[in-house]
Amino acid sequence: MPESPGTLAGMRRQPAQARSRERVNRILDAAEALFASQGYAGTTTNAIAARAAVPIGSLYQFFPDKAAILLALALRYTETLRQELTAVGESAAALSLADYANQLIDNTDRFFSDHPSYRAVFMEAQGTVRELEAIEETVDAHLIRDLAASLPRQLPGLAPEDYDAIAFVLVKTIGTLLWLSLGQPQSFRQRLTAETKRLTLHYLNSYISTENAGAG
Partner DNA sequence: TATGAATGAGACTTCATTCAT
Partner DNA sequence: GATGAATGAAGTCTCATTCAT
Chain residues binding a copy of itself by CB under 8 A are: 38-42, 98, 102, 120, 123-128, 130, 137, 161, 165-166, 168-169, 172-173, 176-177, 180, 183, 188, 190-199, 201-203, 205-206, 213-216
- Give least dist CB 191 to a copy of itself, A: 5
Residue number with CB closer to DNA (131 or 195): 131
Q: State how far the Cα of 103 lies from the Cα of 89, in Å rounded to an integer.
A: 10
Q: Is 56 in the site for DNA (CB under 7 A)?
A: yes
85 φ/ψ angles, rounded to the nearest 5 degrees: -90, -15
Q: Is 55 in the site for DNA (CB under 7 A)?
A: yes
Which listed option, a copy of itself, DNA, none, makes contact with residue 191 (CB within 5 to 8 Å by class)?
a copy of itself
Applying CB under 7 A, the site for DNA has a residue count of 20
Q: Is 61 in the site for DNA (CB under 7 A)?
A: yes
116 Cβ partners below 8 Å, 6+ apart? 36, 182
- Give least dist CB 74 to DNA, A: 17
Binding mask 7-26 for DNA (x = CB under 7 A): ------x---x-xx--x---
State which of residues 4, 46, 113, 176 lies at the interface with DNA (CB under 7 A).
46
Q: How many CB atoms lie within 10 A of CB 93?
A: 11
62 φ/ψ angles, rounded to the nearest 5 degrees: -100, -35
Q: Is 54 in the site for DNA (CB under 7 A)?
A: yes
Residue number with CB closer to a copy of itself (14 or 37): 37
Q: Is 186 in the site for DNA (CB under 7 A)?
A: no
Query: Using an 8 Å Cβ cutoff, are 177 and 192 in contact?
Result: yes
Q: Which stretch binds DNA (CB under 7 A): 61-69, 116-124, 132-140, 146-154?
A: 61-69
Q: State how far the Cα of 31 lies from the Cα of 25, in Å rounded to an integer.
A: 10
Q: Is 42 in the site for DNA (CB under 7 A)?
A: yes
